[in-house]
Structure 1
């Protein structure tokens, strides 16, 4: 058995593509921190979904590009190259053949299990929201104080049609306008849907190191973007007051099944994220001109396409 199996399509998809994608994201980390939250979020989503998109690249055995590459081009579902010169009596050959088999099967099984687990969590979140019996008030859903939810509840739930869920105490507070503006930014950008897809995709590549940092960056960028939109409307001071008033909302909402990865975006994830959000409010907002923003997005789309096709 030769080392050519390292360039087999299933090995490219199971190892080299996610490794290259995650590694490139970490190498560009310092540069991306200078971008506005919208572009940081877009880049994190792209890095998370690139290996998933690569799996869907169709198998084109007669493509000139396939022969031009020093490795075998990507494949689609169920098509893989196997080791034909494996000697069962040779330990390394037998091990290599088993690794090739695992590289063909494990990614597909991991994807199926990960998305199934994500769907169950979304269903559990929807059931929890239904048990709270929220009442609609305009575009906001209000949970009464006697429904058993935390009095500081403020969250955006739902994938296709996001809904803003507020506790009655939050809706009646002085910080309500800034909180609602923050949650509407989540809903308008469909942050729950993108975080759900990225979470399921990254969880599928559980053998790739450094992938969890991408998800953390995505959630932070989503919060920073929502804070920035609320800041543009009501000012940094109002958002800071709302942030302080909602410090415990994230952890309490997670305890009631409204965690961000499960189909909802809490106003605050506890931990170091609070420090980053407070620091962002103290600094001038980071913005790009229209042509700069579209240029960054075009580069991201081109990079994702190249990685998905070539790796």
Structure 2
């Protein structure tokens, strides 16, 4: 029953998230919307993995700790052939495969991005020059500005971009890229990409990656406009070419929507909107754990508290010596 409830929870979250987290309201709450997407992905992952585990390991077994879990798994393997034990072993194998796929996807996503950035920096080194303000200029005919996260984080500006932008616009896009670096936005994108890589057929995974890529650009735009104004940010986006390398974050990505948002800013969210978003994030994270704890509590109570009529006379049952 616990496994069915957890699978129902995961199905509900995966089905509702794409529609609930893609409305126009998300542009006014980009930070909280990213939190909602990551919370939904984590909630689905924990629920599915826990559901597979609890087919073989009843929630009451958790009270015995690791020894109880291992004993339940060994019992399921030893009884392979019977229907219940076969189902339990199949669920354990499926859970192990999903967990391994998840780990491998995260390692490959983060590893490939890190290797590409190192190679890209090495390729740019002979063609670039370090500016006093801390950014790197590369001689190129396309006007582009992007950042390469990592250690150290690098902001790359082409010579054509320097010629195309006014000093105020250049300062705005530099602040935009530094906001990406300071906010570790590449990690948010990588988490969504790894989840999508683990479950490529899940519509929620594809939508989450696309939305998080869009929302981190809104976050950086907001930081740039705080100091340089929305007009400067919008004009700079228009003048830059949307030619961002694969594992970089670029100032012109998603230009049309971002320009509209800068020129017609969304309504500022109220405190209650932030509280609602924070509450939903907390529910997403706590949901699978709450189901597990409640099931374990009910199972333990049933195992330790006898159910039956009280002894005659309403007193405590006694035993003859």
266, 291, 296: which one aligns with 2:250: 266
Relative distance call for 1:298 and 1:81 in structure 2 (3 A) is farther
Question: TM-score, structure 1 length as denominator?
Answer: 0.70
Partner of 1:21: 13
Partner of 1:158: 149
Partner of 1:282: 263
Residues 1:232 and 2:232 are matched in the alignment: no
Count of matched residue positions in the alignment of Structure 1 and Structure 2: 273
Structure number having the greater helix percentage: 2
Relative distance call for 1:31 and 1:106 in structure 2 (3 A) is farther
- How far 1:243 sits from its partner (Å)? 1.0
Q: How does 1:58-137 map to 2 (within 5 A)?
A: 100=91, 102-118=93-109, 119-133=111-125, 134-137=128-131
Partner of 1:306: 286
Question: TM-score, structure 2 length as denominator?
Answer: 0.68
Relative distance call for 1:279 and 1:7 in structure 2 (3 A) is same
Could you list the per-position Cα deviations for residues 21-50 of structure 1 after superposition, in whole angstroms to 9, with x for gaps in the alignment? Answer: 322313423485364222222222322333
188, 192, 199: which one aligns with 1:198: 192
Distance 1:80 1:167 in 2: 61
273, 295, 299: which one aligns with 2:275: 295
Distance 1:34 1:17 in 2: 27
Greater gyration radius: 2
- How far 1:245 sits from its partner (Å)? 1.1
Partner of 1:176: 170
Gaps of 5+ in 2: 64-68, 293-321
- How far 1:80 sits from its partner (Å)? 9.7
Partner of 2:299: none
Relative distance call for 1:219 and 1:233 in structure 2 (3 A) is same
Match of 1:288, SS state, is coil
**Contact 1:159/1:193 (<8 A) preserved:** no
Gaps of 5+ in 1: 68-74
- Structure 1 vs Structure 2 CA RMSD: 4.1
